[in-house]
Protein backbone atom coordinates (compact mmCIF):
# COMPACT_ATOMS: atom_id res chain seq x y z
CA UNK A 1 0.00 0.00 0.00
CA UNK A 2 2.68 2.40 1.04
CA UNK A 3 4.67 1.42 -1.99
CA UNK A 4 1.81 2.33 -4.30
CA UNK A 5 1.09 5.61 -2.57
CA UNK A 6 4.68 6.74 -2.82
CA UNK A 7 4.90 5.70 -6.47
CA UNK A 8 1.86 7.83 -7.22
CA UNK A 9 3.44 10.70 -5.34
CA UNK A 10 6.65 10.37 -7.25
CA UNK A 11 4.67 10.11 -10.46
CA UNK A 12 2.84 13.33 -9.65
CA UNK A 13 6.03 15.12 -8.73
CA UNK A 14 7.93 13.98 -11.79
CA UNK A 15 4.89 14.53 -13.98
CA UNK A 16 4.69 18.17 -13.02
CA UNK A 17 8.41 18.85 -12.96
CA UNK A 18 9.29 17.37 -16.32
CA UNK A 19 6.65 16.76 -18.92
CA UNK A 20 8.92 15.63 -21.71
CA UNK A 21 11.74 13.87 -19.94
CA UNK A 22 11.07 10.43 -18.53
CA UNK A 23 13.05 9.15 -15.64
CA UNK A 24 13.99 5.67 -14.64
CA UNK A 25 14.91 4.68 -11.11
CA UNK A 26 17.63 2.06 -11.13
CA UNK A 27 18.82 0.54 -7.83
CA UNK A 28 22.09 -1.36 -8.10
CA UNK A 29 24.41 -3.31 -5.80
CA UNK A 30 27.45 -1.43 -4.49
CA UNK A 31 29.82 -3.59 -6.52
CA UNK A 32 28.19 -2.33 -9.74
CA UNK A 33 28.97 1.32 -9.13
CA UNK A 34 31.41 1.95 -11.97
CA UNK A 35 29.96 -0.42 -14.55
CA UNK A 36 26.29 0.49 -14.13
CA UNK A 37 27.10 4.21 -14.01
CA UNK A 38 28.74 3.77 -17.40
CA UNK A 39 25.87 1.69 -18.72
CA UNK A 40 23.35 4.28 -17.54
CA UNK A 41 25.24 7.03 -19.34
CA UNK A 42 25.28 5.15 -22.64
CA UNK A 43 21.61 4.26 -22.16
CA UNK A 44 20.83 7.94 -21.75
CA UNK A 45 22.72 8.66 -24.96
CA UNK A 46 20.48 6.16 -26.76
CA UNK A 47 17.34 7.54 -25.10
CA UNK A 48 17.92 11.30 -24.98
CA UNK A 49 14.60 12.02 -23.27
CA UNK A 50 15.32 9.63 -20.44
CA UNK A 51 17.09 10.38 -17.20
CA UNK A 52 18.39 7.41 -15.24
CA UNK A 53 18.44 7.96 -11.48
CA UNK A 54 20.97 5.65 -9.85
CA UNK A 55 20.96 4.43 -6.27
CA UNK A 56 23.85 2.25 -5.13
CA UNK A 57 24.09 0.33 -1.87
CA UNK A 58 24.34 -3.10 -0.33
CA UNK A 59 21.77 -5.35 -2.02
CA UNK A 60 20.02 -5.96 1.30
CA UNK A 61 19.78 -2.20 1.88
CA UNK A 62 18.23 -1.63 -1.54
CA UNK A 63 15.71 -4.40 -0.91
CA UNK A 64 14.82 -2.90 2.47
CA UNK A 65 14.38 0.52 0.89
CA UNK A 66 12.05 -0.94 -1.74
CA UNK A 67 10.05 -2.79 0.91
CA UNK A 68 9.58 0.53 2.71
CA UNK A 69 8.19 2.10 -0.44
CA UNK A 70 11.13 3.59 -2.32
CA UNK A 71 10.12 4.13 -5.96
CA UNK A 72 12.09 1.75 -8.19
CA UNK A 73 11.78 0.53 -11.76
CA UNK A 74 14.79 -1.74 -12.12
CA UNK A 75 16.78 -3.53 -9.42
CA UNK A 76 20.19 -5.11 -9.91
CA UNK A 77 21.48 -7.10 -6.95
CA UNK A 78 24.51 -9.24 -6.25
CA UNK A 79 22.43 -12.33 -5.58
CA UNK A 80 18.96 -13.77 -6.12
CA UNK A 81 18.62 -14.57 -2.43
CA UNK A 82 18.22 -10.86 -1.63
CA UNK A 83 15.05 -10.78 -3.74
CA UNK A 84 13.12 -13.37 -1.75
CA UNK A 85 11.22 -10.87 0.37
CA UNK A 86 10.19 -8.70 -2.59
CA UNK A 87 7.25 -8.71 -4.93
CA UNK A 88 8.35 -8.07 -8.48
CA UNK A 89 7.75 -9.18 -12.03
CA UNK A 90 9.11 -12.75 -11.77
CA UNK A 91 9.21 -13.20 -15.53
CA UNK A 92 11.65 -10.32 -15.79
CA UNK A 93 14.33 -11.96 -13.70
CA UNK A 94 17.52 -12.62 -15.61
CA UNK A 95 21.14 -13.08 -14.64
CA UNK A 96 23.11 -10.35 -16.38
CA UNK A 97 26.55 -10.75 -14.82
CA UNK A 98 28.69 -13.01 -12.68
CA UNK A 99 31.45 -12.22 -10.26
CA UNK A 100 34.01 -13.98 -8.10
CA UNK A 101 35.35 -13.51 -4.63
CA UNK A 102 38.83 -12.28 -3.96
CA UNK A 103 40.96 -11.75 -0.90
CA UNK A 104 42.54 -8.31 -0.91
CA UNK A 105 45.45 -7.21 1.23
CA UNK A 106 46.92 -3.72 1.55
CA UNK A 107 50.01 -3.16 -0.57
CA UNK A 108 52.99 -3.20 1.76
CA UNK A 109 51.43 -5.49 4.36
CA UNK A 110 52.67 -8.99 3.67
CA UNK A 111 51.02 -10.95 6.46
CA UNK A 112 48.56 -12.78 4.23
CA UNK A 113 49.81 -14.67 1.18
CA UNK A 114 47.12 -17.30 0.76
CA UNK A 115 43.64 -18.19 1.89
CA UNK A 116 45.18 -20.45 4.51
CA UNK A 117 47.03 -17.49 6.09
CA UNK A 118 43.72 -15.89 7.08
CA UNK A 119 43.90 -17.75 10.35
CA UNK A 120 47.18 -16.66 11.86
CA UNK A 121 46.24 -13.86 14.22
CA UNK A 122 45.44 -11.32 11.56
CA UNK A 123 42.72 -8.70 11.24
CA UNK A 124 40.13 -9.73 8.69
CA UNK A 125 37.23 -7.60 7.49
CA UNK A 126 34.25 -9.08 5.68
CA UNK A 127 30.77 -7.88 4.78
CA UNK A 128 27.83 -8.57 7.06
CA UNK A 129 26.01 -11.88 6.60
CA UNK A 130 22.96 -10.05 5.25
CA UNK A 131 25.04 -8.60 2.42
CA UNK A 132 25.43 -10.94 -0.59
CA UNK A 133 29.23 -10.76 -0.58
CA UNK A 134 29.23 -11.59 3.13
CA UNK A 135 27.07 -14.62 2.44
CA UNK A 136 29.28 -15.73 -0.47
CA UNK A 137 32.35 -15.34 1.74
CA UNK A 138 30.81 -17.60 4.38
CA UNK A 139 30.10 -20.20 1.70
CA UNK A 140 33.64 -20.04 0.43
CA UNK A 141 35.05 -20.35 3.97
CA UNK A 142 32.76 -23.31 4.62
CA UNK A 143 34.13 -25.04 1.52
CA UNK A 144 37.68 -24.36 2.66
CA UNK A 145 36.88 -25.62 6.14
CA UNK A 146 36.20 -29.09 4.76
CA UNK A 147 39.83 -29.21 3.68
CA UNK A 148 41.65 -27.00 6.20
CA UNK A 149 39.71 -28.23 9.22
CA UNK A 150 37.57 -26.91 12.04
CA UNK A 151 40.35 -25.25 14.01
CA UNK A 152 41.34 -23.22 10.95
CA UNK A 153 37.72 -22.16 10.51
CA UNK A 154 37.54 -21.14 14.17
CA UNK A 155 40.63 -19.02 13.95
CA UNK A 156 39.35 -17.34 10.76
CA UNK A 157 36.19 -16.52 12.65
CA UNK A 158 38.15 -15.00 15.50
CA UNK A 159 40.24 -13.00 13.01
CA UNK A 160 37.14 -11.13 11.79
CA UNK A 161 37.22 -7.66 13.34
CA UNK A 162 34.30 -6.11 11.49
CA UNK A 163 31.30 -7.01 9.36
CA UNK A 164 30.65 -4.06 7.10
CA UNK A 165 27.41 -2.91 5.55
CA UNK A 166 28.56 -3.25 1.95
CA UNK A 167 31.47 -4.53 -0.08
CA UNK A 168 32.91 -1.08 -0.75
CA UNK A 169 33.23 -0.40 2.98
CA UNK A 170 35.32 -3.58 3.26
CA UNK A 171 37.51 -2.43 0.38
CA UNK A 172 37.90 1.07 1.83
CA UNK A 173 39.07 -0.22 5.20
CA UNK A 174 41.58 -2.59 3.63
CA UNK A 175 42.83 0.28 1.45
CA UNK A 176 43.34 2.30 4.63
CA UNK A 177 45.31 -0.64 6.05
CA UNK A 178 42.85 -0.99 8.91
CA UNK A 179 42.81 -4.72 8.17
CA UNK A 180 45.38 -7.23 7.02
CA UNK A 181 42.89 -8.74 4.62
CA UNK A 182 39.34 -8.39 3.36
CA UNK A 183 37.01 -10.54 1.30
CA UNK A 184 35.49 -8.66 -1.65
CA UNK A 185 34.70 -9.30 -5.30
CA UNK A 186 37.37 -9.46 -7.98
CA UNK A 187 35.67 -6.44 -9.58
CA UNK A 188 36.20 -4.39 -6.42
CA UNK A 189 39.86 -5.28 -6.43
CA UNK A 190 40.10 -3.85 -9.96
CA UNK A 191 38.87 -0.44 -8.72
CA UNK A 192 41.61 -0.20 -6.10
CA UNK A 193 44.58 -1.91 -7.74
CA UNK A 194 46.95 0.84 -6.63
CA UNK A 195 46.11 0.30 -2.97
CA UNK A 196 45.45 -3.40 -2.55
CA UNK A 197 46.89 -6.66 -3.79
CA UNK A 198 44.85 -9.67 -4.86
CA UNK A 199 45.27 -13.05 -3.20
CA UNK A 200 43.58 -15.61 -5.42
CA UNK A 201 41.16 -18.11 -3.87
CA UNK A 202 41.84 -21.70 -4.93
CA UNK A 203 39.53 -22.78 -7.75
CA UNK A 204 38.06 -25.66 -5.70
CA UNK A 205 36.65 -23.24 -3.11
CA UNK A 206 35.36 -20.75 -5.67
CA UNK A 207 31.87 -19.33 -5.27
CA UNK A 208 30.25 -17.64 -8.23
CA UNK A 209 28.11 -14.62 -7.53
CA UNK A 210 25.14 -14.42 -9.89
CA UNK A 211 23.76 -10.93 -10.44
CA UNK A 212 20.04 -10.85 -11.26
CA UNK A 213 18.14 -7.94 -12.76
CA UNK A 214 14.41 -7.57 -12.12
CA UNK A 215 11.72 -5.11 -13.11
CA UNK A 216 8.83 -3.91 -11.02
CA UNK A 217 5.43 -4.41 -12.56
CA UNK A 218 3.80 -1.48 -10.83
CA UNK A 219 6.14 1.08 -12.29
CA UNK A 220 4.61 3.63 -14.62
CA UNK A 221 7.37 3.49 -17.18
CA UNK A 222 7.58 -0.23 -17.75
CA UNK A 223 8.52 0.21 -21.42
CA UNK A 224 11.57 2.15 -20.43
CA UNK A 225 12.38 -0.35 -17.69
CA UNK A 226 12.19 -3.14 -20.24
CA UNK A 227 14.43 -1.17 -22.59
CA UNK A 228 16.98 -0.76 -19.83
CA UNK A 229 17.05 -4.42 -18.86
CA UNK A 230 17.36 -5.39 -22.54
CA UNK A 231 20.15 -2.87 -22.88
CA UNK A 232 22.13 -4.75 -20.25
CA UNK A 233 22.53 -7.62 -22.72
CA UNK A 234 23.61 -5.46 -25.65
CA UNK A 235 27.25 -5.04 -26.70
CA UNK A 236 27.77 -1.61 -25.14
CA UNK A 237 26.69 -2.81 -21.71
CA UNK A 238 28.47 -6.16 -22.05
CA UNK A 239 31.67 -4.31 -22.82
CA UNK A 240 31.30 -2.04 -19.81
CA UNK A 241 30.67 -5.02 -17.52
CA UNK A 242 33.58 -6.97 -18.97
CA UNK A 243 35.90 -3.99 -18.68
CA UNK A 244 35.17 -3.85 -14.96
CA UNK A 245 35.79 -7.55 -14.52
CA UNK A 246 32.30 -9.09 -14.52
CA UNK A 247 31.72 -12.48 -16.10
CA UNK A 248 29.26 -13.41 -18.80
CA UNK A 249 25.65 -14.00 -17.94
CA UNK A 250 23.82 -17.27 -17.95
CA UNK A 251 20.58 -16.31 -19.71
CA UNK A 252 18.23 -18.27 -17.47
CA UNK A 253 14.71 -16.99 -16.95
CA UNK A 254 12.68 -17.36 -13.82
CA UNK A 255 14.00 -19.35 -10.90
CA UNK A 256 17.74 -19.12 -10.70
CA UNK A 257 19.98 -21.62 -9.01
CA UNK A 258 20.95 -19.94 -5.79
CA UNK A 259 24.33 -20.52 -4.24
CA UNK A 260 22.83 -21.57 -0.91
CA UNK A 261 20.73 -24.20 -2.65
CA UNK A 262 23.78 -25.66 -4.30
CA UNK A 263 25.08 -26.52 -0.84
CA UNK A 264 22.10 -28.74 -0.17
CA UNK A 265 22.70 -30.74 -3.34
CA UNK A 266 26.25 -31.66 -2.51
Partner 1 sequence: MSRIVGRWWWWLLAGLPLLAFLAIPVVALILKSVGNRIATSSEFNDAIRLSFETSLASIVVTVVFGTPLAFAIARYQFPFRKAVNVLFDLPIVFPPAAAGIALLLAFGREGLIPTSFGATSIAVVMAQCFVSSPFYLRAAINAFSATDTGIEECAALEGARPLEVFAKVVMPQCSSQLASGAVTSWARALGEFGATILFAGNLAGRTQTMPLAIYIGWENDLDQAITLSAIMLGIAFLAILVVRAFGKQ
**Residue of 164, 174, 191, 245 interacting with partner 1 (CB under 8 A):** 164
196 binds partner 1 (CB under 8 A): no
Q: With H, G, I as helix, E, B as strand and everything else as coil, classify residue 109.
A: coil
Q: How many residues bind partner 1 (CB under 8 A)?
A: 20
Dist CA 141 CA 263 (whole Å): 13
Q: Which stretch binds partner 1 (CB under 8 A): 4-12, 140-148, 172-180, 241-249?
A: 172-180
Out of 51, 111, 163, 226, the only residue in the binding site for partner 1 (CB under 8 A) is 163
Letters for 116-155 (x = contact with partner 1 by CB under 8 A, - = none) are -------x-x--x-x-------------------------
Do 64 and 91 touch, CB atoms closer than 8 A? no
Q: Of 161 and 190, which CB lies nearer to partner 1 in the complex structure?
A: 161
Pairwise CA distance, residues 37 & 16, whole Å: 26
Closest CA to 233 of 224, 243, 241, 225: 241
- Cα–Cα dist 96/176, whole Å: 32
Residue 176 sits in the site that holds partner 1 (CB under 8 A) = yes
Instruction: Give yes or no for residue 64 binding partner 1 (CB under 8 A).
Output: yes
Choice between 109 and 227, CB closer to partner 1: 109
Nearer to partner 1, 108 or 235 (CB): 108
- Residue 74 CA to residue 231 CA, distance in Å, equals 12
The window from 8-16, 137-145, 156-164, 197-205 that contacts partner 1 (CB under 8 A) reads 156-164
Q: Which of 169, 156, 73, 162 is nearest to 122 (CA)?
A: 156
Minimum distance, C-beta of residue 127 to partner 1, in the bound complex (Å): 10
161 touches partner 1 by CB under 8 A:
yes
Q: Cβ of 143: how many Cβ atoms within 10 Å?
A: 18
Return d(Cα 180, Cα 117) in angstroms, integer.
Answer: 10
The reply on whether position 165 binds partner 1 by CB under 8 A is yes
76 binds partner 1 (CB under 8 A): no
* Residue 100 or 123 with smaller CB distance to partner 1: 123
Cβ at position 129, least distance to partner 1 in Å: 9
Could you tell me the CA-to-CA distances from 11 to 6, 130, 153 in Å, in that order? 8, 31, 51
Q: Length of the chain in residues, anyone?
A: 266
Q: Looking at 98, 162, 208, 222, which residue binds partner 1 (CB under 8 A)?
A: 162
Residue 86 interacts with partner 1 (CB under 8 A)?
no
Binding of partner 1 by 160 (CB under 8 A): yes
Helix (H) or strand (E) segment spanning residue 167? helix 167-175
CB atoms under 10 Å from CB of 92, counted, come to 20
Say if strands 74-76 and 208-215 run parallel, antiparallel, or are unpaired: antiparallel
Q: Name the residues that contact partner 1, by CB under 8 A.
A: 58, 60-61, 63-64, 123, 125, 128, 130, 160-165, 173, 176-179
Amino acid sequence: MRFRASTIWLGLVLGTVSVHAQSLNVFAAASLKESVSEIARSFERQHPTCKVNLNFGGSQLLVAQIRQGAPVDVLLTAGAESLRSLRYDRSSQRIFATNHLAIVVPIGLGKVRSLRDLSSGIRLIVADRHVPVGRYAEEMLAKAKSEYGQSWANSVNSAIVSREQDVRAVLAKVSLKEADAGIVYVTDYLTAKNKVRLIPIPERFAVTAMYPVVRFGGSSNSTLARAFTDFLFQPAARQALMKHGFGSPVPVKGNVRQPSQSKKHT
